[in-house]
Amino acid sequence: MPASSALFLLLHLLLFLAATGEATTFSITNGCPYTIWPAALPIGGGMQLDSGKQWTLNTGDTNTTRLWARTGCSFDGNGTGTCQTGDCGGLLACKANGRPPNTIAEFALGRPSNRDFFDISFVEGFNVPMDFLPEPAKGGPGCSKGPRCGANITVQCPTSLKAPGGCNSPCTVFRQDRYCCTGSAANNCSTTDYSGYFKKMCPDAYSYPRDDATSIFSCPAGTNYKVVFCPLTNQAVPPSPLPESPAGGTPVGPTTMKPRSSTARTVAAILAPVGGFIFLFIVAFYLCKRRIQRRRETDEEEEEEFGELQGTPVRFTFEQLRAATEQFADKLGEGGFGSVFKGQFGNERIAVKRLDRTGQGKREFSAEVQTIGSIHHINLVRLIGFCAEKSHRLLVYEYMPKGSLDRWIYCRHEDDAPPLGWNTRCKIITHIAKGLSYLHEECTKRIAHLDVKPQNILLDDDFNAKLSDFGLCKLIDRDMSQVVTRMRGTPGYLAPEWLTSQITEKADIYSFGVVVMEIISGRKNLDTSRSEESIHLITLLEEKVKSDRLVDLIDNNSNDMQAHKQDVIQMMMLAMWCLQIDCKKRPKMFEVVKVLDGTMTADLNIEHNFVVTTSANFRSTGNVSSSDPPLASDVSGPR
């Protein structure tokens, strides 16, 4: 843990000199587009604060404290878990200081002169922009206006200080006296290139342990304060003026005409074509220059578009990622939008997704960066950073050593690994459900993944499952039912309602049902290597449930699966509930999680038809009013 600021030590001493019994109120607002978990010591502990929400903190009898925001957290029902930045020992209600990097609001209330002193400190690094203001914000008589730091320092953090989710202080990274103001530099500590960078980005903040007094603010005791994380800043850039049109020629008017000599006519005959050629050359040169300038402006606009994305931990350069992947040598896999490579950045293994510009475009790239960068859950693959440099588009994820789920559930003769047991398969299914439940129910806006399949489910060393590849995701307003107008996703996993363009998050639930059946049976939904009547797993499920032979679908390559037949059949019942053709009859994802946790039972009063075979069959669900849709073979059935 780096040394605390001299101001904070001084404020601790002042606590013992004098105190006031008057309680001060802090109004804490989350202006970030993602959830944070603010914490205060020694008061307040900590809590979850969603985007746009407020928390009122009363200091009581406490006179000195620090306040900070934690990001990237995941807590269980007992209030224990982890945070990417600001973690305080894995507790929701903090009892210890946060782990760097984190932006800290420090204050001491009612010192001997009956005044409050407060500041924003970067002594332990930066993770979230912050304003720390008295109320009213402009201050009253004898009251400072308060420090503001609206800059997202993480985006422009020096390479040597970069950390997942923030920007470290030089003391944390280098542990040297000159940066920590300790030892030989305890009495003559001064600013460095690194602390100068912090000061340049946020002049009001306390940038190193012996920063000057201009970073300390004061108000009369009894003043109330507000802390705003990710405050609004004026980021508007005036448009560049268009180039002026070429000046017009000299006005032409009547002239006194004189007879021309033959020499004059000869010169004119020579100069006319030469002048015309020069004019055409100038026009062509101007047009070519404008085309190059517009192309350069387009590239710059695209880079600026991604330059200030909130919630994204690190922006890498292309050279950094090329070095981290050793020239993109170790390919882990290839998808519809590009290839994924294994890499090493510092002490952390990473997976780098290099996007094909002819595949995933700017819309999909922006969706993936903004969506994954602003949500955090233990069953969602963590986005470490991205690169948007000229034509290069890359995403950097945490590395999942076991790879994708399809490598483990399909029986392959060249794979010597034993088939997964029932408990492992059940754990994977539960983790997928919890990840989808978080997207559908717990985010500020519902998020439909729209491409749930085994290739997009990654596994760690302990077979913990996480959802990945949000390139097709869609944010859904909670009062909207029709949100997607163009077909997307993967054949074999698409819900029937794709035929109508009326898509909600319920499409993910159908895909989840298909994946559950694949996990249980150890085969693909569409397998052309099998006999004609067995090609399509979901059609086979219809036949087996009607003939009471569901046991035939259990993976016969696993003795453990055969030993848990009754449990597996109960899981099939849940899958069939998710596979209802009418999306309104499918469960919500949080209900699926309850069934898996044993606190709820699956609905058994369901239709045993899971595949649309005719347009009339599909109209029976009441979702289509005009035009004949294509057959189900274009959706979840075989092509």
Q: Which pLDDT value is given to residue 475?
A: 60
Q: Which pLDDT value is given to residue 467?
A: 93
Cβ-Cβ contacts under 8 Å for 498 (sequence gap 6 or more)? 487, 489, 507, 635
* CA–CA gap between residue 351 and residue 312 (Å, rounded): 16
Distance of CA 246 to the CA centre of its chain: 47
Neighbours of 609 (CB within 10 A): 16
Instruction: Tell me phi and psi for residue 104, to 5 degrees.
Output: -115, 135
CB 466 within 8 A of CB 502: no
Q: Which pLDDT value is given to residue 357?
A: 59
Measured CA to CA in angstroms, residue 37 lies from 68, 94, 98, 224, 621 at distances of 9, 10, 11, 21, 43
Rg of the chain over Cα atoms, rounded to whole angstroms, equals 32
Residue 451 designated active-site: yes
Q: Which pLDDT value is given to residue 619?
A: 40
Residue 69 pairs in a beta bridge with: 38
CA nearest 179: which of 204, 201, 161? 161
506 is in an annotated binding site: no
Beta strand extents in 155-284 (DSSP E only) = 162-163, 166-167, 217-220, 225-229
* CA–CA gap between residue 516 and residue 262 (Å, rounded): 95
Low-confidence ranges of the chain (pLDDT < 70): 1-22, 44, 64, 111-113, 137-141, 210-213, 233-265, 267, 294-313, 335-337, 357-368, 371-372, 412-416, 470-491, 497-502, 613-639
State both tokens at 508: 């993910």
DSSP string, 476-533: E-TT-S----S--S-TTS--GGGGTT---THHHHHHHHHHHHHHHHTS-SB-TTS-GG
Tell me the helices (H) and strands (E) count for the chain, helix number first. Answer: 15, 26
CB 352 within 8 A of CB 396: yes
3-state secondary structure 463-476: CCEEECCCCCCEEE
Helix/strand/coil for 637? coil
Residue 344 pairs in a beta bridge with: 349
Name the DSSP letter for residue 583: G
Contacts of range 544-548, beta carbons closer than 8 Å, 24 or more positions apart: 545/572, 545/576, 545/608, 546/608
Neighbours of 425 (CB within 10 A): 26
Residue 227 pairs in a beta bridge with: 28, 132
Residue 243 pairs in a beta bridge with: none
CA nearest 497: which of 364, 489, 473? 489
Measured CA to CA in angstroms, residue 370 lies from 385, 448, 487, 609 at distances of 11, 14, 22, 38
* CA–CA gap between residue 473 and residue 458 (Å, rounded): 17
CA nearest 114: which of 256, 223, 196, 5? 223
Measured CA to CA in angstroms, residue 344 lies from 323, 332, 463 at distances of 9, 13, 22
Cβ-Cβ contacts under 8 Å for 477 (sequence gap 6 or more)? 445, 446, 483
* CA–CA gap between residue 295 and residue 317 (Å, rounded): 21
CA nearest 507: which of 563, 560, 426, 582? 582
Cβ-Cβ contacts under 8 Å for 145 (sequence gap 6 or more)? 133, 134, 137, 138, 139, 217
Q: Which pLDDT value is given to residue 365?
A: 66
Neighbours of 530 (CB within 10 A): 14
Tokens 């070095």 belong to which residue?
A: 323
Name the DSSP letter for residue 631: P
State the DSSP H helix or E strand holding residue 425, giving kind and residue range, or none if neither.
Answer: helix 422-437
CB 105 within 8 A of CB 134: no
Q: Looking at this protein, which amino acid is placed at residue 203? A: P
CB 401 within 8 A of CB 417: no
State both tokens at 280: 């055409």
Instruction: Tell me phi and psi for residue 124, to 5 degrees.
Output: -110, 25
| pTM of the full structure | 0.53
Catalytic residue among 451, 469, 508, 555: 451
Q: Does residue 629 have a cis peptide bond before it, meaning omega lies within 30 degrees of 0?
A: no
CB 180 within 8 A of CB 4: no
- Domains with residue ranges and CATH for the chain: 6-229 (2.60.110.10), 314-398 (3.30.200.20), 403-634 (1.10.510.10)
Neighbours of 168 (CB within 10 A): 22
CB 215 within 8 A of CB 5: no
Beta strand extents in 181-247 (DSSP E only) = 217-220, 225-229
CB 341 within 8 A of CB 354: yes
Q: Which pLDDT value is given to residue 338?
A: 78
| β-bridge pairing 74-75 and 81-82 | antiparallel
Q: What dihedral do alpha carbons 153, 228, 88, 435 form, nearest 10°? A: -90
